[in-house]
Amino acid sequence: MTMSTKPSGLVSSTGTRLQVISSTGLRVEATTSAIDGILDIFYADYDLSFILANEKETYKGFSECLMLNHGDAYRRLAHLFGPFREFVAVVYDGKTRIAGLNFIIFPLSSSRSTVYSANLNYIFVNPAVRRRGYFSRLMGDLAGVSIRLFAHTNPNDLPCSRTENANSLAAAPPVYIYLEQNDPLRLAAAESDRDTKLTGLDQFDRITIWARLGAKIIDFPYVQPPLSREQGPDDTLVYAVLGTEGRALQPGLLRGHLERFFGISVLKGKGVMQEAVARVQLEELERMQHVGLAVHLFDVPPDLKELAGTLTADLLEPKSVKDVLRRSAKN
């Protein structure tokens, strides 16, 4: 499935509240603020959809991130990283609220390319309307929706403005969408079982669903830094990306992305190089860029669960889905 940037409805706004109609007719109500009511609606649904302690952001955490979109905090971070916006959104089909989103988006340039880089921090479909195709529709629309919202709040930073048109959006750089996924071989059995009971999907199912949408797993030792002082780093995740072509990613682009994602969404504006988990990953990507190494991307086979059952017996602890994919590639 391709990530579409074809025209959705134009963005309209009332203060910090934004509305865009996606190319498949879903209404996305988004905000860059914690105080206009959208975060409260989003969080009520989010709180029922995410249950694992280390993956879960608090209401205060979302508020702190959204506050970085404005004022002196934004100016300080934009001076370091360039323009960015973090959005919280709720999604409607007609009058029915069907989903929620939280993502950050920003432009990135390297010697070879310019892209728009988005981190899909959270996405969920509300339980009452699951398995009706909303997830695929929403993901197919997300690149177009995110680039429109960013353009509306940063009209001088994208090749389109508040008076958007199809030609100007066609000239926009591609959107790479990154996301975290639970690694079923690293997640504690009790947590995995609890999550499966809530959602009806096990962790292997989730990875293969994302793969059908085009997600490729990044062959990099990704660890999420602590979301708060009360939480620890999370090494039970794999990191994936949609929207890229080929089987490799420039380490400079991944470094630029993680520096901003860690510094803004995870660490809430605190110094990214002062956090050890983040610093180690950024330094490794800088080293890879310096010596000319690319970051490999794995295509996920549809029989991943069966492969894992066959290949994990010979793997050393701790095991990972990336180990399975490496071993499969060699066979």
* Selection from 114, 73, 87, 30 nearest residue 263 by Cα: 73
Contact between 35 and 43 (Cβ < 8 Å): no
Residue 189 pLDDT level (bands cut at 50, 70, 90): confident
Does residue 141 form part of some domain?
Answer: yes
Top-confidence residue, 232 or 192: 232
Residue 202 pLDDT level (bands cut at 50, 70, 90): confident
Question: Is residue 9 pLDDT above 90, yes or no?
Answer: no
Q: Tell me the C-alpha distance between 171 and 269, whole Å.
A: 31
Does residue 5 form part of some domain?
Answer: no
Mean pLDDT, the chain, whole residue set: 88
pLDDT tens, 230-289? 889 999 999 999 999 889 999 999 999 999 999 999 999 999 999 999 999 999 999 999
Token couple for 120: 């899909």
pLDDT tens, 116-174? 999 999 999 999 999 999 999 999 999 999 999 999 998 665 443 333 444 455 567 89
What is the DSSP track for 36-78? Answer: SSHHHHHHHHHHHH---GGGPPPHHHHHHHHHTTSHHHHHHHH
Question: Is residue 328 pLDDT above 90, yes or no?
Answer: no
Does residue 22 form part of some domain?
Answer: yes
Predicted pLDDT at 298: 97
pLDDT tens, 13-48? 778 999 999 999 999 999 999 999 999 999 999 998
Top-confidence residue, 304 or 162: 304
Does residue 1 form part of some domain?
Answer: no
Quote the number of domains for the chain: 1
Does residue 2 form part of some domain?
Answer: no
Q: How many residues does the chain have?
A: 331
Range 196-210 average pLDDT: 85
Question: Is residue 329 pLDDT above 70, yes or no?
Answer: yes
* CATH code for position 320: 3.40.630.30
Residues 6+ apart with CB under 8 A from 330: none
pLDDT tens, 52-106? 776 789 999 999 999 999 999 999 999 999 999 999 999 999 999 999 999 999 9
Instruction: Give me the domain span that covers residue 149.
Output: 12-330
Predicted pLDDT at 190: 77
- Beta strands 96-109 and 114-125 are antiparallel
pTM: 0.90
CA distances 81 to 89, 108, 261, 262, 317, Å, are 23, 9, 10, 12, 37
Does residue 6 form part of some domain?
Answer: no
Does residue 169 form part of some domain?
Answer: yes
Token couple for 275: 């956090």
* Selection from 151, 36, 37, 34 nearest residue 85 by Cα: 151
Token couple for 130: 């699951």
**Residues 71, 73, 75, 81, CA torsion sign:** negative
Does residue 301 form part of some domain?
Answer: yes
Predicted pLDDT at 52: 73
Could you give the dihedral angle defined by the CA atoms of residues 178, 181, 185 and 186, in that order, rounded to the nearest 10 degrees? 90
Predicted pLDDT at 169: 52
